[in-house]
Amino acid sequence: MTLVGQRSFNDLGIPLSEVPFCVLDLETTGVGPDICEITEIGAIRYEGGVETGRFQTLVNPQTGIPPQVTVITGITQAMVIDAPTIGEALPSFLEFLGDAVIVGHNVSFDISFLNAAAIRLGYGRLPNRSTDTLGLARRLVRQEVRNLRLSSLAAHFRSPTTPNHRALDDTIATAHIFWCLLERAGAIGVTHLDDLLNLPTIKGSRAIGKLTLTEHLPRKPGVYRFLDAGGHVLYIGKATNLRSRVRSYFSGDTRRRVDDMLRDTVSIEHQVTSSELEASIVELREIHEQRPIHNKRSKPPRSLHWVRLTEERHPRFQLVRTPGKGRLDIGPFRSRRAAEQVMFALWDGSQIRRCTSSGRGCAFAELGVAVCPCSGGVSDDEYAAIVDQVVAQIERDPLPIFTNIGERMAVFARHQRFEDAAAVRDRWDGLARALEQRRAWQCLQDAGRFVAVDADGLHVVVNRGRLESCWRSNATAPLPSDVRGPQRYPDTMAALDEAMVLWRWLTHAAVELLHISGTLALPPTPIPVLPSVS
């Protein structure tokens, strides 16, 4: 006999009316499955809310029953002499249990005994999901009852059977409590299995009271928005399963800002999309447009920074706030620090001058870390050749730049200057990311407008790094004709972020190009991988 496999993620979204439940209770010789044994099993199975069967048996523990246990349960040694052993009773019980969701009061105790027996007999751990009436009661009726014991809850919900520490009677009382709690849960929007399984982890009364705001959310990909009383957007997010993702804020997320957001939320809006890709793009655009106060990580910066190779007589790298006015620009960067990392990496990897004036006595040239015409050590033509070489390396083959950076990092490491080596490593990493993004942006600009389809049948139309449309169909699209003019550099972080989302989809999914108006190609030499500091 093999145990039924665990339900898939999609199965968790089935309505509670379709979920089979098995309410159970065990009596044992003690409190630990490693040293104690089962003496009685009681269970009731429900399909569609209707009782379909009962299971009850005493179990011979093949060991003595402590007197104090007999006093509590009334089960004596004589009562279990002729009862089946757990090895004889368990196969029948597992057959009865099937794929049902296990329900119990402090159910982890009962499951621990069943798992211990099942493992010992070669069946392995029970794969069934479970829900605990103790946890449900803690969230739903804690303020109404003196305590959460089975007997107290049975009295509170007027159970027709009083718990008496016998397995079947306690099971009947637990089932009555469970259905009463389920009715309460339904009033706050708990209608599916995943809702029920997550309910015990809901943070508190405020979160429980607002669960009804999620009732209308579908189990589809899309974008969601938390709104306050004035209709202002507090937070925008994306999800592959809108209902599941939004409800996770009420249970599994412990961040303080989430509590603050839930406190102010009075409604939740959503937009269904064709795919997670479209949801990602819609999320980015709306965050950049509306700047919600709780979108800390994705919120666009107040200002952007670029690293520019200037158009001066003797070009140099400098930090600027606007692109497109130099010989070559790299960016944008969200912060000045990120831009500085890249500029310092280019200094480490090349001999471009670092001084800011054309005066004499360049200290960097004297140290041998840069070439500067103002010191008289190199002619204008020689310096122009150095600049041309650096530009070509950035555009097509940056390996020499990274080789120089790596040598500098290795020198620091050999002299045990590990903090300096780590700083150079961070510059390498920053420059590599910046050049990867620059290549991807330029590649998408050169591609023009194209139609691509992935292995799941998602058709995507991209125009110069911007999503135009996407759909799921077997139909093909005509050759795109209207092409936006290429942008040499992304002028906003939103434009770069959207292009990078599309680029990741293109390079990590099994994508086939159907039509393209330009050329989609990268330089043949890859960006070098960051070495380790040793």
The residues that are catalytic are: 165
What is the β-pairing status of strands 130-132 and 101-104?
parallel
Q: What is the DSSP secondary structure assignment for residue 234, as one 8-state letter? A: E
Q: Which two tokens stand for residue 290?
A: 């509306």
- CB atoms near residue 29 (< 10 Å): 20
For residues 448 and 483, is the Cβ–Cβ distance under 8 A?
yes
From residue 254, give the alpha-carbon distance in Å to each of 239, 261, 273.
19, 12, 28
Write the Ramachandran bin of 478: left for phi over 0, alpha for psi from -120 to 50, otherwise beta: beta
Q: What are the strands of the beta sheet with 222-227, ordered from one edge?
A: 233-239, 222-227, 267-272
From residue 234, give the alpha-carbon distance in Å to each of 16, 197, 249, 455.
32, 27, 14, 35
237: part of which helix (H) or strand (E)? strand 233-239
Q: Which two tokens stand for residue 460?
A: 């995507």
Three-state secondary structure call for residue 433: helix
Please, what's the b/e burial string for 409-447 (b: 16 or more CB within 10 A of its CB; e: otherwise)? beebbeeeeeeebeebbebbebbbbbbebbbbbbbbbeb
Closest CA to 512 of 459, 444, 468, 445: 459
Closest CA to 210 of 178, 258, 257: 258
Q: Which two tokens stand for residue 6?
A: 């665990």
For residues 283 and 226, is the Cβ–Cβ distance under 8 A?
no
Q: How far is CA 400 from the centre of its chain?
A: 38
Q: CA-CA distance, 286 to 282, in Å (whole number)?
A: 6
Q: CA-CA distance, 350 to 346, in Å (whole number)?
A: 6
For residues 402 and 428, is the Cβ–Cβ distance under 8 A?
yes
Closest CA to 348 of 275, 440, 259, 410: 410
**CA angle at residue 45 from 194 to 28, to 5 degrees?**
100
Q: Which two tokens stand for residue 54?
A: 């009962």
Task: Indicate the Cα dihedral angle 98, 102, 103, 105, nearest 10°.
Answer: 130
- CB atoms near residue 94 (< 10 Å): 19
List the end-to-end C-alpha distance of the chain, in Å, as a whole number: 54
355 class by beta-carbon count within 10 Å (0-12 exposed, 13-18 middle, 19+ buried)? middle
Q: CA-CA distance, 113 to 386, in Å (whole number)?
A: 75
